Amino acid sequence: MESEYLTLIEKWREIYKTEVRNRKRMPEVAQLNPEEYLNVRRPFFTHISPEDAEYVRTFRMVSYGMLSYSPSLRAVILRGAGYNLARRLTGTGEIKSVDDLPRVFLKQRIGLLDIIDESFNKMKINIYECISCYQSPPIGRTLCDFEAGMIQGAIESLIGKNITREIYCWGLGNSFCGFEIVFE
Q: How far is the CB of 48 from Zn ion (least distance, A)?
A: 21
Find the DSSP H helices in the chain: 2-22, 34-38, 43-48, 52-69, 71-92, 101-107, 145-158
- Residue 38 DSSP SS3: helix
Interhelix angle for 145-158 vs 71-92, to 10°? Answer: 30
Among 67, 123, 148, 169, binds Zn ion (CB under 5 A): 169
Is residue 75 within the footprint of Zn ion (CB under 5 A)? no
Binding letters toward Zn ion, positions 114-143, x by CB under 5 A: -------------------x----------
Span from 7-15, 16-24, 103-111, 164-172 in contact with Zn ion (CB under 5 A): 164-172
Q: How far is the CB of 120 from Zn ion (least distance, A)?
A: 26
Q: What separation in angstroms does the CA of 168 have from each of 43, 100, 105?
A: 20, 23, 18
CA angle (108 as vertex; 102, 111 as ends), nearest 5: 55
* Interatomic CA distance for residues 40 and 56, integer angstroms: 8
Span from 71-79, 80-88, 92-100, 169-177 in contact with Zn ion (CB under 5 A): 169-177
Q: How far is the CB of 104 from Zn ion (least distance, A)?
A: 17
* Interatomic CA distance for residues 35 and 116, integer angstroms: 32
Among 101, 148, 177, 181, binds Zn ion (CB under 5 A): 177
Phi/psi class of residue 31: alpha, beta or left (left: φ > 0; alpha: ψ in -120 to 50)?
beta
Span from 47-55, 74-82, 112-120, 174-182 in contact with Zn ion (CB under 5 A): 174-182
Binding letters toward Zn ion, positions 39-68, x by CB under 5 A: ------------------------------
Among 110, 144, 155, 181, binds Zn ion (CB under 5 A): 144
Query: Which is nearest to 56 in space by CA: 67, 46, 66?
Result: 46
Task: Give the residues lining the site for Zn ion (CB under 5 A).
Answer: 133, 144, 169, 177
